[in-house]
DNA sequence: GAGCACTGC
């Protein structure tokens, strides 16, 4: 350990002069110096200080918002107006306010415009307000994340001086704090897509603003595609306008997509961040992060440190080592307080990063990509960037996903560095060489290129697009991927043999789950087992519901799960979820539920989400006139319902105890987290197929060969051909 | 006999 501390890490100089690098690469008339803005930041707007969604807290505030909106809580409108008046000078100091008139002129003169605004420009809060007076109908501003939509709406309603949910409101899953009179609505892009499915003309709106377009989520890409149709064809009237807001360079692409829409720039408010690179590449990234942190702790003045690492495993290792190291480090330097930050952590542990530390301490936050966009931690002056991230890649040829460690893009590196310059000038230590930096791709590959596109294709079909391959995709996912999606949808009976959407497909598209699971729900209704299937689908919809126990508790927890779930032990993980759901419901109070979750290593907050999802699925099924019956639980019937959606995810037991997929004959192994691990069944069905060290089936259930013969004799036939 | 980045409806 001592040796480790002695060897210093050498960083080169900040070669490029210190400005946040978006400036240098931007195709902009501004000079670098213009954008290297330094100044007092009065009232940070837009990304409000509290930007983390920690479940239960947010529940409360949303409920309260609803009360406000429906007027159940008495409000003093005079106070609200007073507060708004106080906020006006803050608004007027924002960069975007300085160009208000130019900007309005621009928007008036074009049907579509692209607006590049750097962090802190105030674009997301101010521009929609500028437009409120001149819009006959509503303005929708999309956000990729729920919390962002809620925070923006809350802030803007204060600035505007209204009760949240009246003139200014928001709409996100599980919460609609708006009414028909709402003039300005912040909305997740998923919700706007839903609205589009129900009202293809978006007739309630005269302006749609797509914010954070540079993030290139699948849903943003799709919205832009549909908006192109609207703006140039179905709603070519002067009334309808589209504004695309982006924080980075992709402007040219958006502009071209919308037939050379004008581009407008607004400068932001970022402090300069000096960047340092390594002289030599490193082998052990965990070790290098630790050395860098220890070293900069001894040489740099106050300010917290944010480190970006690829995933949980590396983060936990750094946290452990720093905890051991902290007491033996030189006493002159601040005491290091390491804190992990990744999505799978329980919310109270995530919250720790907002806790202030003592004067003689220094926070070191070890984070995944979650800190790049979703969570903004105040007080960061130093960023340590491993240059790595984990990315889930879908292989449509194999129908499986893999989780890979990959280098980040230049845009992502800039975003990470920028986290050090939000409140004061900062420093960023990149744990790679500058030559490696230059080799990085400019932008992160759009999500749609590495995901399965079954759901997007179904949406296109719903919107009446016949030529999927030739559609004006912002980013075409490619022929193979699209054909695979079409085939999947055809085999789910969502499309007929002429490629048109079926009645079943129309129903599937409105359900808030993946098409496979939507098919299962509808089939379950036909079979008369909708109730239990909704329970299970709701469980499957929640990430990290069953957590993996720490290694020392592994065997104990596995045994306890088996003891608790008798049906699960026979039929597999889907029935296990149903049993766990029923048990959870049957427990008297939250204290008891919490203890029970702990024993079985179940995410307590996750189960609360399950109940919320369950309620919503039941509600949507009700809208489709499909209601739950009240029959008793029939395990085999439930599994048959699931089989209708997961026919291709089946495998047959071989004499050597392995399983081979029915469709292709590939080898699959039951994941050791499954209750069926180590058991031998004639055939299995699984919800997910992931490749790590080998192909693993997850969420596994047993099926009978006869069921396959009944439902899909063609599949069994094709396998014989292969063999 | 294993580990899981991040969102959205």
Do A361 and A214 lie in one domain? The reply is no
**Is residue A431 over pLDDT 80?**
yes
Confidence of residue A317 (pLDDT cuts 50, 70, 90): very high
Residue where one domain finishes, among candidates A414, A445, A476:
A445
Q: How many CB atoms lie within 10 A of CB A146?
A: 21
The answer to whether position A27 is within a domain reads no
Instruction: Indicate the number of domains in chain A.
Output: 5
**Is residue A349 over pLDDT 90?**
no
The answer to whether position A604 is within a domain reads yes
**What are the pLDDT digits (tens) for A278-305?**
999 888 999 999 999 999 999 999 999 9
Which residues fall within 8 angstroms of residue A167, CB to CB, at 6 or more apart? A132, A157, A160, A181, A182, A183, A184
Closest C1' nucleotide to A343's CA: B6
**What are the pLDDT digits (tens) for A548-573?**
887 788 888 889 999 999 999 999 99
**Is residue A16 over pLDDT 50?**
no
Closest C1' nucleotide to A620's CA: B9
Between helix A454-462 and helix A218-229 the angle, nearest 10°, is 20
Contact yes or no for A165/A178 (Cβ under 8 A) = yes
Q: Which of A238-247, A316-325, A672-681, A713-722 has the lowest mean pLDDT?
A: A713-722
**Is residue A338 over pLDDT 90?**
yes
Do A280 and A419 lie in one domain? The reply is yes
Q: How many CB atoms lie within 10 A of CB A448?
A: 23
Do A116 and A197 lie in one domain? The reply is yes
Do A495 and A528 lie in one domain? The reply is no
Q: How many CB atoms lie within 10 A of CB A546?
A: 20
Rounded distance, CA A625 to CA A603, Å? 33
**Is residue A31 over pLDDT 50?**
no
Task: Give the DSSP H/E element, type plus range, for residue A205.
Answer: strand A205-210
State the Rg of chain A over Cα. 27
**Is residue A63 over pLDDT 70?**
no
The answer to whether position A9 is within a domain reads no
Do A209 and A289 lie in one domain? The reply is no
CA of A448 to C1' of B7 (A): 13
Q: Is A460 exposed, middle or buried (0-12, 13-18, 19+ CB in 10 A)?
A: buried
Phi-psi group of A71: left, alpha or beta (phi > 0 → left; psi -120 to 50 → alpha; rest → beta): left
Q: Look-up: residue for tokens 């949910």?
A: A165
Do A81 and A209 lie in one domain? The reply is yes
Q: What is the pLDDT of residue A12?
A: 66
The answer to whether position A44 is within a domain reads no
Which of A104-108, A171-175, A692-696 has the largest mean confidence? A171-175
In the predicted model, what is the mean pLDDT of residues A254-263? Answer: 94
Q: What is the pLDDT of residue A682?
A: 92
Determine what percent of chain A falls in helix, strand and coil, rounding each to the nearest 5.
45, 20, 35
Q: What is the pLDDT of residue A73?
A: 58
Do A623 and A657 lie in one domain? The reply is no
Residue nearest to nucleotide B7 (CA to C1'): A145
Q: What is the pLDDT of residue A4?
A: 40
Nearest of A127, A140, A118, A350 to residue A226 by alpha carbon: A140
Two tokens, residue A79: 């106070």
Closest C1' nucleotide to A375's CA: B6
Closest C1' nucleotide to A690's CA: B4
Do A404 and A338 lie in one domain? The reply is yes
CA of A388 to C1' of B6 (A): 14
Task: Give the DSSP H/E element, type plus range, for residue A60.
Answer: helix A56-70
Q: What is the pLDDT of residue A402?
A: 87
The answer to whether position A414 is within a domain reads yes
CA of A686 to C1' of B1 (A): 19
**Is residue A716 over pLDDT 80?**
no
Do A504 and A541 lie in one domain? The reply is no
Q: What is the pLDDT of residue A23?
A: 31
Between helix A530-540 and helix A573-586 the angle, nearest 10°, is 100
Confidence of residue A48 (pLDDT cuts 50, 70, 90): very low
Rounded distance, CA A123 to CA A78, Å? 27
Q: What is the pLDDT of residue A74?
A: 67
CA of A227 to C1' of B7 (A): 21
How many distinct helices (H) and strands (E) make up chain A? 31, 21
The answer to whether position A2 is within a domain reads no
Chain B bases near protein CB atoms (7 A cut-off): 1-9
Contact yes or no for A54/A143 (Cβ under 8 A) = no
Confidence of residue A666 (pLDDT cuts 50, 70, 90): confident
Confidence of residue A58 (pLDDT cuts 50, 70, 90): very low
In the predicted model, what is the mean pLDDT of residues A370-386? Answer: 92
Closest C1' nucleotide to A555's CA: B1
**What are the pLDDT digits (tens) for A480-529?**
999 999 999 999 999 999 999 999 999 999 999 999 999 999 999 999 99
Three-class SS of residue A138? strand
Beta-bridge partner residues of A691: A402, A695
Rounded distance, CA A235 to CA A229, Å? 8
In the predicted model, what is the mean pLDDT of residues A663-687? Answer: 91
DSSP per residue over A605-621, as a string? HHHHHHHHHHHHHHHHH
Q: How many CB atoms lie within 10 A of CB A230?
A: 18
**Is residue A47 over pLDDT 90?**
no
Phi-psi group of A103: left, alpha or beta (phi > 0 → left; psi -120 to 50 → alpha; rest → beta): alpha
Confidence of residue A618 (pLDDT cuts 50, 70, 90): very high
Do A238 and A159 lie in one domain? The reply is yes
C-alpha angle A314-A406-A257 in degrees, rounded to nearest 5:
135
CATH number at residue A221: 3.40.50.300
The answer to whether position A212 is within a domain reads yes
Residue where one domain finishes, among candidates A445, A465, A480:
A445
CA of A671 to C1' of B1 (A): 9
- In terms of pLDDT, which residue wins out, A671 or A657? A671
- In terms of pLDDT, which residue wins out, A352 or A60? A352
Q: How many CB atoms lie within 10 A of CB A109?
A: 9
Q: What is the mean pLDDT of chain A?
A: 85
Which residues fall within 8 angstroms of residue A523, CB to CB, at 6 or more apart? A641, A644, A645
Rounded distance, CA A227 to CA A235, Å? 9
Instruction: State the residue range of the domain holding A492.
Output: 449-510
**What are the pLDDT digits (tens) for A85-134?**
888 888 888 888 888 999 899 888 899 999 998 777 888 999 999 999 88
**What are the pLDDT digits (tens) for A185-211?**
999 999 999 999 999 999 999 999 999
The answer to whether position A19 is within a domain reads no
**What are the pLDDT digits (tens) for A567-596?**
999 999 999 999 999 999 999 888 899 899
Confidence of residue A261 (pLDDT cuts 50, 70, 90): very high
Do A179 and A219 lie in one domain? The reply is yes
**Is residue A475 over pLDDT 90?**
yes
Do A154 and A254 lie in one domain? The reply is yes
Phi, psi of A187 (to 5 degrees): -145, 140
């Amino acid at each position: 350990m001592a040796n480790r501390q002695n060897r210093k890490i050498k960083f080169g100089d900040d070669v490029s002069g210190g400005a946040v690098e978006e400036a240098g690469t931007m195709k902009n008339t501004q000079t670098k110096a213009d954008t290297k803005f330094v100044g007092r930041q009065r009232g940070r707007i837009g990304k409000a200080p509290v930007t983390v969604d920690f479940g239960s807290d947010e529940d409360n505030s949303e409920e309260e918002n609803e009360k406000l909106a429906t007027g159940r809580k008495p409000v003093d409108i005079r106070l609200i107006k007073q507060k708004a008046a106080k906020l006006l000078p803050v608004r007027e100091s924002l960069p975007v306010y300085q160009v208000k008139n130019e900007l309005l002129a621009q928007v008036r003169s074009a049907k579509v415009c692209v607006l590049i605004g750097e962090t802190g420009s105030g674009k997301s809060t101010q521009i929609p307000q500028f437009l409120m007076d001149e819009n006959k109908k509503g303005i929708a501003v999309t956000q990729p994340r729920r919390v962002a939509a809620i925070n923006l709406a809350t802030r803007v309603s204060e600035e505007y001086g209204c009760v949240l949910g009246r003139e200014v409101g928001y709409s996100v899953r599980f919460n609609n704090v708006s009414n028909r009179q709402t003039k300005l609505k912040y909305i997740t892009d998923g919700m706007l897509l839903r609205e589009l499915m129900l009202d293809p003309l978006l007739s309630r709106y005269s302006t749609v603003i797509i914010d954070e377009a540079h993030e290139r989520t699948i849903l943003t890409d799709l919205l832009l595609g549909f908006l192109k149709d609207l703006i140039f064809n179905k709603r070519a009237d002067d009334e309808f306008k589209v504004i695309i807001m982006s924080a980075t360079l992709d402007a040219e692409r958006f502009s071209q997509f919308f037939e050379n829409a004008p581009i407008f720039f607004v400068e932001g408010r970022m402090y300069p961040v000096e960047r340092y690179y390594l002289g030599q590449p490193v082998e052990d990234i965990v070790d290098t992060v630790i050395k860098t942190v220890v070293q900069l702790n001894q040489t740099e003045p106050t300010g917290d440190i944010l480190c970006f690492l690829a995933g949980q495993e590396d983060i936990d290792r750094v946290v452990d080592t720093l905890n051991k190291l902290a007491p033996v480090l030189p006493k002159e330097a601040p005491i290091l307080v390491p804190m992990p930050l990744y999505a799978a952590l329980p919310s109270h542990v995530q919250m720790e990063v907002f806790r202030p530390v003592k004067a003689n301490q220094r926070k070191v936050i070890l984070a995944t990509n979650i800190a790049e966009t979703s969570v903004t931690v105040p007080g960061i002056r130093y960023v340590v960037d491993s240059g790595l991230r984990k990315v889930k890649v879908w292989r449509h040829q194999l129908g499986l996903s893999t989780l890979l460690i990959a280098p980040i893009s230049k845009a992502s590196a800039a975003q990470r560095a920028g986290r050090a310059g939000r409140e004061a000038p900062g420093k960023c230590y990149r744990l790679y060489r500058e030559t490696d930096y230059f080799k990085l791709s400019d932008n992160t590959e759009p999500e749609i290129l590495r995901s399965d596109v079954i759901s997007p294709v179904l949406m296109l079909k719903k919107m009446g697009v016949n030529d999927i391959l030739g559609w004006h995709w912002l980013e075409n996912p490619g022929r193979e991927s699209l054909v695979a999606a079409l085939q999947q949808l055809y085999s789910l009976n969502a499309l007929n043999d002429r490629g048109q959407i079926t009645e079943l497909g129309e129903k599937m598209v409105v359900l808030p789950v993946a098409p496979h699971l939507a098919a299962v729900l509808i089939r379950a209704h036909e079979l008369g087992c909708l109730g239990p299937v909704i329970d299970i689908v709701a469980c499957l919809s929640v990430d990290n519901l069953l957590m993996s126990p720490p290694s020392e508790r592994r065997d104990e927890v596995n045994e306890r799960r088996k003891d608790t779930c008798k049906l699960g032990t026979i039929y597999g993980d889907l029935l296990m979820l149903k049993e766990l759901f029923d048990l959870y419901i049957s427990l008297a109070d939250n204290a008891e539920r919490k203890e029970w979750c702990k024993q079985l290593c179940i995410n307590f907050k996750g189960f609360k989400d399950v109940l919320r999802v369950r309620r919503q699925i039941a509600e949507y099924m009700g809208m489709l006139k499909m209601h739950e019956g009240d029959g008793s639980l029939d395990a085999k019937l439930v599994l048959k319902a699931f089989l209708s959606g997961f026919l291709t995810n089946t495998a047959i037991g071989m004499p050597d105890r392995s399983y081979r997929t029915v469709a292709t004959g590939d080898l699959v192994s039951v994941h050791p987290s499954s209750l069926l691990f180590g058991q031998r069944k004639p055939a299995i069905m699984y919800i997910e197929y992931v490749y790590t060290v080998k192909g693993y089936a997850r969420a596994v259930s047993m099926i009978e060969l006869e069921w396959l013969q009944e439902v899909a004799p063609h599949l069994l036939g094709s396998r014989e051909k292969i063999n």
